[in-house]
Amino acid sequence: MQLSPEVFAACERLMRGGSHSFFAASRFLPKRFRFAATAVYAFCRVADDAVDEMPEGASIDIVMAYLHERLEAIYRQEPFAIDADIAFAAVVNAYSIPKELPVALLEGFQWDAGGRGYDTIESLHEYAARVAGTVGAMMTLIMGGRSTQTVARACELGVAMQLTNIARDVGEDARRGRLYLPLAWCREAGLDPEEFLENPQPSEAVMVVIKRVLKVAEQLYVRAETGIAALPRDCRAAIMAARLIYADIGRVILARGCNAITQRAVVSDQRKWWLMARAMGSYLIAPQRDYLLTPLSEIQFLVTAVPSPEHDPARVDAFYPVVAMLERIGQLERDQRASSPRA
């Protein structure tokens, strides 16, 4: 499949505009993996947007059928004329991404559109496994990690990030009529979910639940570090940066007394740079070969979807010619601006 620089430039614009934290961390990825990771993000973004931006009165079944049709075309290597689909088709082919992973991702988007609630933390894990654990698994496959433990840790890192997002967006989601916090925990804390959705206000009860969710996320962030240590040495800083930046969102929430209802936690650019510098130390972490953590049961179906044989190393540089071309174009543009007369 012929890939143009314009396709990757379009995917990068999606990432730059959609997730500042993910984009910042991706800058640390080796060039040979960077655009494949961008393509995965772009496909996830446009698929999510197709669900979130459904016209009023549109049928979710029709939208999901359309997304599955696009996915089938991607796996036939006949993608629709959509930049993200074209790029993702190349990733699927180059890195042997099992179709079960994006299928689970789409299922998570469908759960969102259906307004599904989550009674327990385990059921919330099931949702997070689909909308974020799948991304962690795909990213790990791109970097060559296919062992059961490495893929499991990647899925759990995705779950941790999604739990952080849920804790950060409690107020914003509630004002849209959605509550992702475990409903059983809400009731235990004395928070009536329906009353909270009618009038989302800070309270001791909701803050207790947010703190519990962040505690679970932190435990998963710690577990994820053993998987990061098993990645190629030059990939560790990028993934560790993502882990540290997302976990730091939780730190900001806790510092504000877990008020995620009237305030939105943001990690400053200065703090992100400090965390990314700290992540550079992960380059020196020695892989731990004797750890055997039992994966979360809710991600097990993702782990078993990944074939155990190691990825063919001859194919990991599939995108490097495109990377080199993009860099050359960028340099030519910079040279042209530098030689132009100043106004």
CATH number for 315:
1.10.600.10
Average pLDDT value for residue range 213-231: 93
**What number is the average pLDDT over the span 74-98?**
93
Query: What is the model's pLDDT at position 315?
Result: 45
**236 close to 285: Cβ distance less than 8 angstroms:** yes
Residue 266 lies in a domain: yes
Residue 341 included in any domain? no
- State residue 53's pLDDT score: 82
CA distance 78 to 72: 9
Give the whole-angstrom CA distance, residue 33 versus residue 137: 14
Q: Please, which residues have CB within 8 angstroms of residue 259's CB and are 6 or more apart in sequence?
A: 202, 207, 253
Please indicate, yes or no, if residue 226 is contained in any of the structural domains. yes
156-189 pLDDT, tens digit each: 999 999 999 999 999 999 999 999 999 999 999 9
In a domain, 267, yes or no: yes
Question: What's the Cα-to-Cα distance from 307 to each of 37, 235, 304, rounded to whole Å?
Answer: 20, 21, 7
Residue 279's pLDDT band (boundaries 50, 70, 90)?
Answer: confident
**pLDDT bucket at 341, cuts 50 / 70 / 90:** low
pLDDT of residue 304: 95
Q: Is 16 left (phi over 0), alpha (psi -120 to 50) or beta?
A: alpha
Reported as a single tens digit per residue, the pLDDT across 120-138 is 999 999 999 999 999 999 9
- Tell me if 217 sits within 8 A of 163, measured CB to CB: yes
Residue 290 has pLDDT above 50, yes or no: no
Q: Is residue 177 part of a domain?
A: yes
The answer to whether residue 79 is domain-embedded is: yes
Instruction: Confirm whether 340 is domain-assigned.
Output: no
Q: Supply the pLDDT for residue 122.
A: 97
* 207 vs 16, higher pLDDT: 207
Using CA atoms, how far residue 60 sits from 45, 50, 165, 195, in Å, is 17, 10, 24, 27
Let me know if residue 342 belongs to a domain.
no
- 106-132 burial, b for 16+ CB within 10 Å, e for fewer? bbbbbbbbeeebbeebebbbbbbbbbb
Residue range(s) defining the domain that contains residue 84: 5-334
- Indicate the number of domains in the chain: 1
**pLDDT(116) > 70:** yes
pLDDT at residue 41 in the model = 87
CA distances from 69 to 62, 83, 152 (A): 10, 16, 29
